[in-house]
Structure 1
């Protein structure tokens, strides 16, 4: 356990050095790529959200998306929100679509894969049918804060959990524009925080979890600093069951900074048709 703690400290120190080097960066890096349409795209993806993705996208006004390796980042990118716009002014809408990363794509020609219905929303309604036939289009995209209409972050006991020997959790409705890079759990009233491991996408798990009422704390990387965030309440009861959901009472609102050029700090230039 001490070795794992030292490794985590080293990783955090390296990350801090990177963030200091990006001190003149912005939070709206504009990227150019391609987006593909795939009728088989679905919400039951590599992030492990399963049917929870429906409630996430509904409350956040989002659509689900499969993301490339550089965005998925072995699961770190799960739950991140992006705004995507295609670049043909004769076909594309100004707003494009806002997506939630729920899956990983092995397609090396694109950064995102959308369902046919979501893909067609990149175009103005009158051109949606012909747009859908294109299959792959050039786009601009940027990461945006996730917003869930006042909904606090919640903790869901994953279906893979087996009381009392194995505990796996997901953190749903994570707001802001940050990444959860570490999770620790502790019995309420104790000071023996224990690390959980990222098992699959957004799922964190551990063997032989602490007994009794449990609390969690999260290492969130965003802005120019990283910080531990945890609710001042018991999150899991002494006897927990797979599928149970508990509200944390808090919401993450930090905005991550990126080192990039060009730096998009305002609205995109309105060169698209309505």
Structure 2
């Protein structure tokens, strides 16, 4: 049975609508990529997003540092990207599938090395494992195509609480879909919502003493979606502990 001409635009419109709702851009953009660290991935741990041990936090080696043009002063931390090697038959691995990585670090500019992470270039400094999944190690710097994709995470949003009674310091991670968090507020069991300030990456802080109160969090991701996670931590929460929400984005 032949498909009507009117049906094709309708399908296309529906796909665009789904993309808009999900905040996903399926267009591919030009950039370049290198790698840092070795096969073990130890060199990619910690970093400017504040995630610390990427194995412990669930990100593993599927990670990347971003150049200034993409990092957005840490606001892009947690976002997911899909990449593949292009137009370089000498170094691109033929038939390699696109990789999906999470932004976990910053690739600083280096005036002594033109190109790479220097502004205004869009650049991905991948973990060794991710780079060698799409290109040969000796390629060094390769042209890639990239696009933002939804982050797929298991379990709820996680909140790692550190600091002291007068400086609540919270890492927000394991965020699905958009992945990158643009606003955070905290609420004690005896307070209203208190806006938190981005300290760096996805670490947020407030100077309000909330010790002895159950904590709830209001989180907004870069696509404008806001969720409230009530009583994430009990009244007797402890510094240095991680607490999980019941839902995710």
Question: How do 1:97-176 and structure 2 match up within 5 A?
Answer: 97-106=99-108, 107-108=117-118, 111-123=123-135, 131-148=136-153, 150-158=154-162, 161-162=163-164, 164-176=165-177
Residue 51 (structure 2) pairs with residue 57 (structure 1):
no
Partners of 2:155 and 2:247 within 8 A in 1: no
The alpha carbon displacement at 1:26 in A equals: 5.8
Task: Please give the secondary structure, in 2, of the residue aligned with 1:210.
Answer: coil
Task: Please give the secondary structure, in 2, of the residue aligned with 1:74.
Answer: helix
* Matched residue, 1:37: 35
Task: Please give the secondary structure, in 1, of the residue aligned with 2:59.
Answer: helix
The alpha carbon displacement at 1:52 in A equals: 4.2
TM-score, length basis structure 2: 0.76
Residue 219 (structure 2) pairs with residue 247 (structure 1):
no
Residue 80 (structure 2) pairs with residue 78 (structure 1):
no
Q: Distance in 2 between matches of 1:110 and 1:221?
A: 19
* Matched residue, 1:69: 68
Structure 1, unpaired ranges of 5+: 1-22, 124-130, 253-274
Q: Distance in 2 between matches of 1:98 and 1:26?
A: 14
The alpha carbon displacement at 1:39 in A equals: 3.3
Q: Distance in 1 between matches of 2:183 and 2:155?
A: 22
Cα distance 1:101–1:35, how it changes in 2: closer, same or farther (>3 A)?
A: same
Task: Please give the secondary structure, in 1, of the residue aligned with 2:130.
Answer: helix
Deviations 1:60-118 (A, max 9, x none): xx611110122211111111111110004743344232111110012215511023332
Give the paired residue count.
Answer: 211
The alpha carbon displacement at 1:53 in A equals: 5.0
Q: Distance in 1 between matches of 2:99 and 2:167?
A: 38
Partners of 1:53 and 1:64 within 8 A in 2: no
The alpha carbon displacement at 1:57 in A equals: 2.1
* Matched residue, 1:184: 185
Deviations 1:233-270 (A, max 9, x none): 31123333232111110111xxxxxxxxxxxxxxxxxx
The alpha carbon displacement at 1:221 in A equals: 3.3
Q: Distance in 2 between matches of 1:101 and 1:49?
A: 10
Greater relative CO (CA pairs within 8 A, separation 6+):
1
Task: Please give the secondary structure, in 2, of the residue aligned with 1:230.
Answer: strand
The alpha carbon displacement at 1:179 in A equals: 3.4
Partners of 1:35 and 1:136 within 8 A in 2: yes
Q: Which has the higher strand share?
A: 2
The alpha carbon displacement at 1:132 in A equals: 0.9
TM-score, length basis structure 1: 0.70
Deviations 1:176-197 (A, max 9, x none): 025321111111254x211111
Structure 2, unpaired ranges of 5+: 1-19, 109-116
Cα distance 1:26–1:98, how it changes in 2: closer, same or farther (>3 A)?
A: closer
Partners of 1:152 and 1:248 within 8 A in 2: yes
